[in-house]
Amino acid sequence: LPISATRHSTMASSEKSTAQVFASTSAFLCDLWGADKVLRFLAYAAKIAASRMELREGTSARVDGIRKLGGAVSDARTVMRFFGTIDAIAALLTNNQTDPVLRRISDLQAASMVVYHPLEHFCWAAWCAPKWITTKAERVNDLSRYSCIAWLAYILLEFASQHRRLKLLQRALERSRKDGTLTEEERVKIQQQQRRIHLEALVSAANLPLAVHWSVKRPFLGEATVGVLGVVGAIVGGYLKATG
């Protein structure tokens, strides 16, 4: 090909690649749960930044500003979860798990979210509008802890679900080695599913200490530690969402 034709072909390919990147990024960010992963990253990264800045320069307007910005992002995530209760009820009513163990776990997880979401949103509204919702602050804090206990239950059940799914996949692989019922392509897909479940377990492992931290009367994790755990969960969760 002439140099000019090659150049035009390269430019067209580059423009197409750029368009694909923007299209996939737009689809990810416009998806509710995809956007939540990005906001989670920003909210928890703000905690890390505020903690490090405070170590260097002490309490300052800049540190306070970073914390307020992170708090605003966290509020946005809470608002985005307003319809979580409906999702949880729908999950209870439309559980299509064929494995009886996974079906029971899924039902219990959905039930935990039916508890979590209303409590979280009531507490958020009480903190935002204390003159409208006159529940005592101590009571609101207790309800917030109860919502986190429900989240903690969900995470523990998620570990059980991950263990069960890995066990079922491993059984399928072992059967295929004995009787050759799976094709090579099917075996590769099972191995990919196993890797995804391990990444899901990493997200659960990052969320677990956060749930415990907010479930007790005296939270025990430092701001930077909370930020790191949150960022890890956001990055891995975002990767799973983007590649799902």
What pLDDT sits at residue 84? 87
Nearest to 87 by CA among 36, 15, 29, 12: 36
Q: How would you label 41-78 residue by residue, b for 16+ Cβ within 10 Å and e otherwise?
A: bbbbbbbbbbbebbeeeeeeeebeebbeebeebbeebb
Residue with the larger pLDDT of the pair 25 and 77: 77
Tokens of 67: 């914390």
What pLDDT sits at residue 215? 97
Give the pLDDT mean for 146-157.
98
Helices and strands in the chain: count of H runs, count of E runs: 8, 0
Least confident interval from 45-54, 177-186, 205-214: 177-186
42, pLDDT greater than 80: yes
Give percent above pLDDT 90 in the chain. 64
In this prediction, residue 15 has a pLDDT band, given cuts at 50, 70 and 90, of low
Residue with the larger pLDDT of the pair 174 and 53: 53
Nearest to 153 by CA among 96, 197, 207: 207
